[in-house]
């Protein structure tokens, strides 16, 4: 996505909103749609997994789970890969 100007606050907010909506829709169409309400925690799990901290435990829905387990249960591996690609490109 080299055609998107980075650093422009309006563009950055728009891209973040589109990414959040895509993530929310993906979760709602999966096996555990109730986790869409924990979007901030899910985004943190994606960040932790893409940073190599997949064993870090995070609180979600009253329990603590590994970030990798949450990503795997919600089938979010493609979001982790997209985050890694964005970091290295």
Q: What are the residue ranges spanned by the domains of the chain?
A: 9-88
Helices (H), the chain: 9-28, 39-50, 67-73, 77-88
On whether the CB atoms of residues 70 and 60 are closer than 8 A, the answer is: yes
| pLDDT tens figures, 44-66 | 999 999 999 999 999 998 999 99
What is the pLDDT, as a whole number, of residue 1? 42
Q: Within 13 Å of residue 31, how many CA atoms lie on the same side as its CB? A: 7
| pLDDT tens figures, 16-38 | 899 999 999 999 999 999 999 99
* Spatial separation of the C-alpha atoms in residues 26 and 59, rounded to whole Å: 21
* Spatial separation of the C-alpha atoms in residues 31 and 73, rounded to whole Å: 8
pLDDT tier at 15 (50, 70, 90 boundaries)?
A: confident
């Amino acid at each position: 996505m080299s055609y998107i100007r980075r650093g422009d606050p309006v563009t950055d907010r728009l891209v973040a909103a589109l990414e959040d909506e895509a993530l929310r829709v993906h979760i709602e169409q999966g096996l555990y749609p109730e986790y869409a309400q924990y979007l901030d925690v899910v985004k943190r799990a994606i960040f932790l997994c893409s940073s190599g901290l997949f064993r870090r435990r995070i609180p979600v829905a009253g329990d603590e789970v590994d970030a990798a387990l949450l990503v795997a249960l919600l089938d979010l591996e493609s979001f982790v890969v997209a985050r890694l690609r964005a970091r290295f490109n």
